Amino acid sequence: MQTYLFVLVALLYIGCTFLPSSRRQTISIVVAVAWVLHGGVLWSDVVGPEELRVGFSMMLSATLWVSVAAYWLENRNYTLDGLRVLVLPMAALAAVLPAMFPGNMVALNGKSPVFLWHIVISILAYSTLTIAAFHAVLMVLQESRLHTRPGGAKAGWFGHALDRLPALLTMEKLLFRLIAFGFFLLTLTVLSGVVFSEELFNKAFKWDHKTIFTMLSWALFGLLLAGRKWQGWRGRTALSFTLTGFAVLLLAYVGSRFVLEVVLHRVLV
């Protein structure tokens, strides 16, 4: 039953991707319905009475679930139709991943509440920086379109969606707002992982691939914010840092878990 519900969520997301921009209210309602359904099914699949299902597919699905909420809220204040075209197909793919890659169950008995808080904060951090990465991609496409703008019907529906975006300066302001919040959450994730490593994972803190990639991503986003404040970094520099930092962060958990679970068939927390 859950598999069919995951597929239904994916179909709703995909359907909203191709609805015309003029159907804004319909898009908003359907996305909200799909988002609620997505969250409900994901919760019932991941959270058990005394156990928690973990894995790269759950993390990715939860990350895109929060990202859809961020898109929905942003789109109510700004016309970000181009973001819909990027976020919803990815959310559709992420919605069905838990049905194909179920991960493994972790017993919650004896686990500290810090363990759950660490997971929740890390998902929020990943989600915020994911939507920031989508935002950066939109800005790259928007800037490129300003220099090579086709006219009339040749622009295509995606071109018209880009034309409806706010000005680049407004988009840049939104981008750094997302990055600053995401960096704050990522800092909490790093600190909770360092300070409570023994309590969270029953082992002392160690420098593994996940820790190294997370710290490298944290350093990149921190350097970007410092460069923005003290050197006025913007434009291509800011976008390059954002996309590089996100790619490294993706490797930190989702990429490494995919290799361990799917390629090497190892079961880890």
Q: What is the mean pLDDT of residues 152-172?
A: 69
Alpha-carbon gap, residue 86 to 139, rounded angstroms: 12
DSSP letter string, 23-85 = GHHHHHHHHHHHHHHHHHHHHHHHB-SSEEEESHHHHHHHHHHHHHHHHHHHHHHS--HHHHH
DSSP H helices, 148-255, are: 156-163, 168-195, 197-201, 209-231, 235-250
- Rounded distance, CA 42 to CA 46, Å? 6
Phi, psi at residue 32, to the nearest 5°? Answer: -65, -40
Q: Is 178 exposed, middle or buried (0-12, 13-18, 19+ CB in 10 A)?
A: buried
Residues 196, 82: Cα–Cα separation, whole Å: 40
Looking at residue 152, its pLDDT comes to 47
In a domain, 268, yes or no: no
Residue 170 confidence class, pLDDT cut points 50, 70, 90: confident
pLDDT confidence tier of residue 153, bands split at 50, 70 and 90: very low
What residue numbers bound the domain in which 214 lies?
A: 2-263
pLDDT at 23 over 50: yes
3-state class (DSSP) for residue 204: coil
Q: In this structure, is residue 242 part of a structural domain?
A: yes
Beta carbons within 10 angstroms of residue 222's beta carbon: 15
First to last CA, the chain: 26
Residue 30 domain-assigned? Answer: yes
**Which residues, including other chains, have CB under 8 Å from residue 45's CB and lie 6 or more apart?**
2, 53, 58, 98
Q: Is the pLDDT of residue 261 over 70?
A: no
Over residues 207-259, the pLDDT tens digits come to 777 788 888 999 999 999 999 889 888 888 888 889 999 888 888 776 555 55
- Helix (H) or strand (E) holding 106, with range, is strand 104-107
- How many CB atoms neighbour CB 149 within 10 A? 11
pLDDT given at position 10 = 92
The answer to the question of residue 269 being in a domain is: no
Domain count, the chain: 1
Higher per-residue confidence, 93 vs 147: 93
Task: Please provide residue 106's backbone torsions phi and psi, each rounded to the nearest 5 degrees.
Answer: -120, 125
Residues 6+ apart with CB under 8 A from 171: 135, 138, 139, 142, 165
Contacts of residue 239, defined as CB under 8 A and 6 or more positions apart, other chains included, come to 136, 139, 140
Residues in the chain: 269
pLDDT per residue as tens digits for the range 175-199: 899 999 999 999 998 888 777 666 6
pTM to 2 decimal places: 0.79
Q: How far is CA 61 from CA 71, 139, 170, 216, 228, in A?
A: 15, 24, 29, 23, 31
Cα dihedral value 200, 206, 207, 209, nearest 10: -50
Count other Cβ atoms within 10 Å, centred on residue 112.
12
202 lies in some domain: yes
Q: pLDDT tens-digit profile of 35-94?
A: 999 999 888 887 766 777 777 778 788 888 988 998 888 877 777 777 888 889 989 998
d(CA 224, CA 227) in angstroms, rounded, equals 5
Per-residue confidence band for 266, with pLDDT thresholds at 50, 70 and 90: low
